[in-house]
Every structure is written in C-alpha cells, then in structure tokens.
Amino acid sequence: MQGKDKTDSFTIAGKDFASRLLLGTSGYPNRQVMLDALKAGGAEIVTVSVRRISLEDYAESMVDLLGGAYHLLPNTAGCETQRDAVLTAHLAREALDTPWVKLELIGDRETLYPDGEQLVQAAEALVKDGFIVLPYCSDDPIVCQKLIDVGCAAVMPLGAPIGSGMGVCNPYNIALICSRSPVPVILDAGIGTASDAALAMELGCAGVLLNTAVAKAQDPVRMAAAMRHAVEGGYQARHAGRIPKRAYAEASSPQLGLIGT
C-alpha cells in the first residue's frame, strides 16, 4: 500500500493486525456464506457469541471452522447482569483458552443499549482477573473514559442501535471519543452500508466491527468486500487530509489565459 508506515498498524493489547474490519458470525443464511463473507471481508478478528455456539471441539463446530484461521473474540451477548457477563467471560476463557473478550452487558431489551454502570464494574473486575476487555458501550465520552480508566484494551461505542442500520447517528460524539482516547476506538453496531463504515474511519476510529450489515445483505459476500474497501478507504482518506469545506465555489483551473480574455 502506497504511503504505508508504522502508523498504519492496528494494535490491540500489543497484538498487531493487518485488517481494521472485525466481523461477527451470526445471522448468515448458512455457514458456507459466512465463511465466504469472512474471507471476502479480509477480517482477522471475528466475534463469536458464547451463548449461541457450542464451545466443544467437535467436527464442524464453530470453533473448529474458525479457530485456526481467525483470532476469535468471544462475546457476552445476551447478558443483562454483571454476574452473568463475568461468568460468561470466564466460560469463554476456559473453553477457548483466550483472555480476550468482547464485553456486552445490555440494560434494555428493546433498544439493546448497554448498561454503562454495570459495564464499567464488570470491565474492572475482568481486567483485574487478567482479561483483555473490549467493551461494547454507548457513544458517551464519559462512559468511554471510565472504561479506559479501569484498563480496557479498547472501547467500542455504538454508532446506532444494534442491527438498526442507521449508521453513525452522533458523529460529533464519536469524533470526540476518538480524539481523547489513548486506546483504539472501534465503532460497534449500527452500520448499514459501506459509506457508514468509511465515515466511522474518517471520524477517527481505529476499526469497525459489524455483523448484520453483512449477514443480512442480499449478497453477504459482496457486501463484506465492500465493507473491507470502505474501512481501508476511510482510514486512508483521514490520513490523506481532506480539503476544507467552503461556503462558496473555488475554481480548480486557473482563470488566466481563458479564450477571449
């Protein structure tokens, strides 16, 4: 990639990744489509729900299909209490032999918004127990700062409610979180199409995690490829430096030398 340097590396908890697109594994028409989409998206980190899959290592299990090719990020999807989230994280660490966890702790079943207070408490407990915690949180800069303060390896604010496809509803907050965060900010939830992913990267995000936008697309494999290019394009555009917005036109060609002048 032209212009690539050490600042292009995507690092979480000391581990480098080439891809800034993280993909989920639920909701696909079938497993083959899921595998093809993950490949087309170029993802290295994929999330798996501990509550939805069997963690036993049998032929054709999710672990068997993905474990050798991807960095698995188990999540605590569906947990509504600190106790359940912590127990689920421990189950995942024991079964998958990984300290990495995407911490989800839902406070409202209708909106699937995270419970910020319990989330911070659960994150602190897991960090103290040696976990590498990536929490799914609201786009609240204060909650993000508290999660950083207790030792989370990244923060993952939502762009919009899970599965809504509404994109980045509050770009100001996302940009503010990115500008203040000493750890990677990964936009999680709400992405609907490629332009949403590009915008998240242009706002300053280090990466984008999505699932429904690909899994429920009419052509998941093609959409995964589009998301891959969007994340890469948004990242490069941010570092290339956009032109300033103007309230008036400015000709790109010189005015001198026009015919008739």
Active site residues: 102
Instruction: Report CA Rg, the chain.
Output: 20
Say if residues 191 and 200 touch (Cβ distance below 8 Å).
yes
| CA 209 from centroid of its chain's CA atoms | 2
Alpha-helix runs per DSSP H in the chain: 31-41, 62-66, 82-96, 116-128, 141-149, 171-180, 194-202, 212-215, 220-240
CB atoms within 10 A of CB 254: 7
Q: Cα dist. 50→56, 78, 113, 252, 261 in Å?
A: 11, 9, 19, 55, 73
The owner of tokens 């770009």 is 171
The owner of tokens 């300033």 is 244
Measure the CA–CA gap between 137 and 103, rounded to whole angstroms: 9
